[in-house]
Amino acid sequence: MSGFGVPRDAYGEVLSELGETRKDLVVLDADLSSSTKTSSFGKKFPDRFFNIGIAEQNMIGIAAGLATTGKTVFASSFAMFAVGRVYDQIRQSVAYPKMNVKIVATHAGITVGEDGVSHQMIEDISLMCALPNMKVMVPSDTFETKKTIREISKEKGPTYVRLGRSKVPNVFENEDEIKLGKATTLMEGDDVTIMASGVMVSKSLEASQKLKSEGISAGVVNLSTLKPIDRQGIINSAKKTGCVVTAEEHNVYIGMGALVSSILSEEYPVPVLRCGIKDTFAQSGDYELLMQLYNLTSEEIYKLSKNVITMKR
């Protein structure tokens, strides 16, 4: 693992690339195309790019309509607006009728930093995972983002992809090594399993290194596909170590950690501790500073890992 990348840049690049061969690809945005990076597709394929203006409800409806004519539709905005503004439209016009619409949201979580709570979306995973028929993906770096966009462009059906704003450390070295749809072990471990998604994956790997220096063997699992979730993969990882820490940049009240906990409590109960935002709105501030203020750090994952080991029965 070395270097950094900006996942939304990767999204824009891969869309433009796919547009060359995929004439069925249509892209929509709601006046944020320069930030979501769909603008590069728009410049290259102006006839297949529609800026709907600051009207996200209309954007989702138009996306659904386009999908009925056989198009593969990507619709983008900030997560706050692409999900929060339009839950009903996504439910009625996309998820229920299984439309081939890919909602790729950027600026999710608290990575928008200084913009504050109005733009910090920490509930999108709960909302999108609650929808039947919806696939939910949270890539961890630029390579996984590219792989995700490529894969979902080949599949029919509704998908939500969550991307942040900031640059993130590379978790992978190339796209080929990535296997989507599974709880993928990035680091083998015997004492504790850390399951993470999105920006928290690289922080989990850091925590694992620190634990290793103290003689604790912490496994790291990348949970980038949250729906359909790899139940068996989660259970197998928990069986191996007997305790789990989850890490997400999202409200823990109903997020990835809650999903993992529910699966384990049904099929293989082990202690689980969750790192995430503790059911509170955040505030304005520098992104890295906010991550520390809300305990979304490798240090927190490290501490929770040590705690959860003591809880093993």
Partner 1 sequence: MKANESLDDLTINNLKKKANMIRKDIIEMIYSAKSGHPGGSLSSADIVTSLYFHIMNHDPKNPSWIERDRFILSKGHACPSLYAALAESGYFDVSELKNLRKPECLLQGHPCTKTPGIEISTGSLGQGLSISTGIALGLRLDGSSSRVFVLLGDGELQSGQVWEAMMAAPKFKLGNLTAIIDRNMLQIDGSTEKVMALEPLKEKLKAFNWQVYEIDGHNIREIIETINEGLKITDKPKIIIAHTIKGKGVSFMENNVSFHGKSPTDEEYKIAMKELEASS
Where do contacts with partner 1 occur on this chain (CB under 8 A)? 26, 47-48, 50, 52-53, 55, 57-58, 60-71, 88-89, 91-93, 96-99
The length of the chain is 313
- In the complex with partner 1, which residue's Cβ is closer, 91 or 231? 91
CB of 263 to partner 1, least distance (A): 30
Peptide bond preceding 169 in cis form (omega within 30 of 0): no
Question: Phi/psi of residue 239, each to 5°?
Answer: -65, -35
Question: Taking the complex as a whole, how short is the minimal distance between the CB of residue 91 and partner 1, in angstroms?
Answer: 8
Element housing 43 (H / E): helix 39-44
Nearest residue (CB) to partner 1, 9 versus 24: 24
**Nearer of residues 26 and 129 to partner 1, judged by Cβ:** 26
Q: CA distances (Å), 249 to each of 90, 180, 279, in order?
A: 23, 20, 12
- To partner 1, the closest distance from the beta carbon of 99 in angstroms equals 7
* CB 228 to partner 1: min, Å: 21
Please identify, using beta-carbon distances, which residue of 95 and 258 lies nearer to partner 1. Answer: 95
Asked if 128 and 89 count as a contact pair (C-beta separation under 8 A), the reply is no
Minimal distance, residue 207 CB to partner 1, in Å: 44
CB of 40 to partner 1, least distance (A): 20
C-alpha distances in angstroms, 212 versus 81, 124, 200, 225?
A: 41, 33, 18, 27
Residues 6+ apart with CB under 8 A from 296: 110, 200, 203, 247, 249, 275, 276, 277, 290
The Cα–Cα gap between 309 and 313 comes to 9
Task: Provide the edge-to-edge strand list for the sheet that holds 272-277.
Answer: 184-187, 218-222, 192-196, 244-251, 272-277
For partner 1, which is the closer residue by CB, 75 or 221?
Answer: 75
Question: 27 or 256: whose CB is closer to partner 1?
Answer: 27
Provide the minimum distance between the beta carbon of 130 and partner 1 in the complex, in angstroms, as a whole number.
Answer: 16
Nearest distance, CB of residue 39 and partner 1, angstroms: 19
Q: Where is 227: in which H helix or E strand?
A: strand 225-227
Closer by beta carbon to partner 1, 99 or else 244:
99
Collapse the DSSP code of 270 into the 3-class scheme (helix H, G, I; strand E, B; otherwise coil) and give the result.
coil
Nearer to partner 1, 48 or 135 (CB): 48
Contact of 242 with 206, CB cutoff 8 Å? no
β-pair type (135-137, 159-162): parallel
